[in-house]
A = this chain, B = another copy of it.
């Protein structure tokens, strides 16, 4: 259902596309690489550019200093559902520069077999994506002289360098940033024809364990037999972490892991995900996770325990008959639902300790821990947005999961108490963080139109 007020905005977007591309190019030319201090001035320029642009479409906008790169916050409207839109203006470094076909900061629109793309650093991650929303607002303002609902824009410049200023900034400005729901545009389409709203993101818990046996490395001729070998002990620990059906054996691990609703299961089945092709792309032929779960479910909705690294003893060329003094592994857990990372960390450590023979000790080094993000899709905004998106794209939109973490969604929830709708138009072949990054013109154009539809639907409700 396309209202008249929306039709006019969509038409404006279509007609204004060439100018929107020029504005995006302007922003892309700013070398806002956040991780390299040499580009601090460029980050500042990108923030200034956004302040000015938002002001030009009626947002009361300011650049806000932090100990790192500045934030940009803009407000417009004072009634209706309050939406907080998040994006980031900083980009990844560009090296190795010699692998780029063109200057990464001189963006150009190109024809490709899969349609037009704009190529350059930051096109997909995240300047192109964030501008889809800004342009939707611009078009609405141009056509109707005002914005359809209450809006807060929130852009950071440190997403690619660990967001050191983010948590303090959210805490200090929680009242100003409070809203009804957040929109985050740092995600992708399900496939070229199918848009997606990511409603669940797995959490992550990291543990490094160091198992120690003898005080020093020993010679296996001298001590092989009576001396405990920490690599063998570590292997037993790792082997004990899963049962034969692929389930994680850490006690209490599955507390808080929900089963999929019938509705979500039906939506995911309807996506027609090519699990075979997904695995074949990386040389695999069969899903290795929990028995009886689909590949999509394994990635989006099931927790895991993985070993990300292991080392011990002699690992160089040739052979050394050493019995090492210690062995180490980096182990991580992907979490879903309401799994409690702290409880799991403790339970894991207890389990490991219980598996150690008398002469071994273990050291634990905790790495990051974040719970899963599970959005309250019972909020009608989710279904409204899903239907609006479905009207713009060839195939209906789905609520999907995300296998990895998007920390900002967790912070919005824990600090601001906000659920997020993660809606983005990136594609698997966008080469984000790599040379020759690009953003599809179809994503840019339909992305703007998608946001116009969502603004229309969420403000009409």
Interface residue ranges, A against B (CB under 8 Å): 202, 204, 206, 208, 213-216, 218-229, 231-232, 234-236, 238-242, 275, 278-279, 282-290, 293, 295, 298-299, 302, 304, 306-315, 318-324, 327-330, 332, 334, 357-359, 367-368, 402-405
Contacts and interface: CB of A to CB of B under 8 A. Distances in A.
- Of the listed residues A231, A242, A328, the one surrounded by the most CB atoms of chain B closer than 10 A to its CB is A231
B315 A309 contact: yes
Contacts of A221: 202, 204, 334, 402-405
Contacts of A204: 221, 321
Contacts of A241: 232
Given A218-B282, A282-B218, A319-B368, A304 B235 contact: no
A328 B295 CA distance: 27
Given A232-B242, A307-B232, A288 B320 contact: no
Given A308-B323, A330-B313, A225 B282 contact: no
Contacts of A402: 221
A66 B217 CA distance: 36
Given A226-B295, A334-B220, A309 B324 contact: yes
- Of the listed residues A204, A220, A289, the one surrounded by the most CB atoms of chain B closer than 10 A to its CB is A220
A309 B312 contact: yes
A289 B236 contact: no
B214 A284 contact: yes
Contact of A323 (B214, B306, B320): B306
Contacts of A214: 282-284
A322 B302 CA distance: 18
Nearest to A213: B284
B223 A403 contact: yes
Given A225-B298, A288-B226, A322 B309 contact: yes
- The 6 closest A-B CB pairs, nearest first, are A221-B404, A225-B298, A215-B283, A235-B238, A309-B313, A239-B239
A196 to B, nearest CB: 15
A227 B284 contact: yes
B235 A287 contact: no
Contacts of A299: 222-226
B309 A229 contact: no
Contacts of A324: 308-309
Contacts of A295: 225-226
Contact of A308 (B314, B357, B404): B314
Contact of A288 (B227, B279, B306): B227
B359 A286 contact: yes
A234 B221 CA distance: 24
A286 B319 contact: no
A298 B225 CA distance: 5
- Of the listed residues A202, A218, A306, the one surrounded by the most CB atoms of chain B closer than 10 A to its CB is A306
A185 to B, nearest CB: 19
Contact of A314 (B218, B314, B330, B334): B330
A320 B330 CA distance: 9
Contacts of A289: 225-226
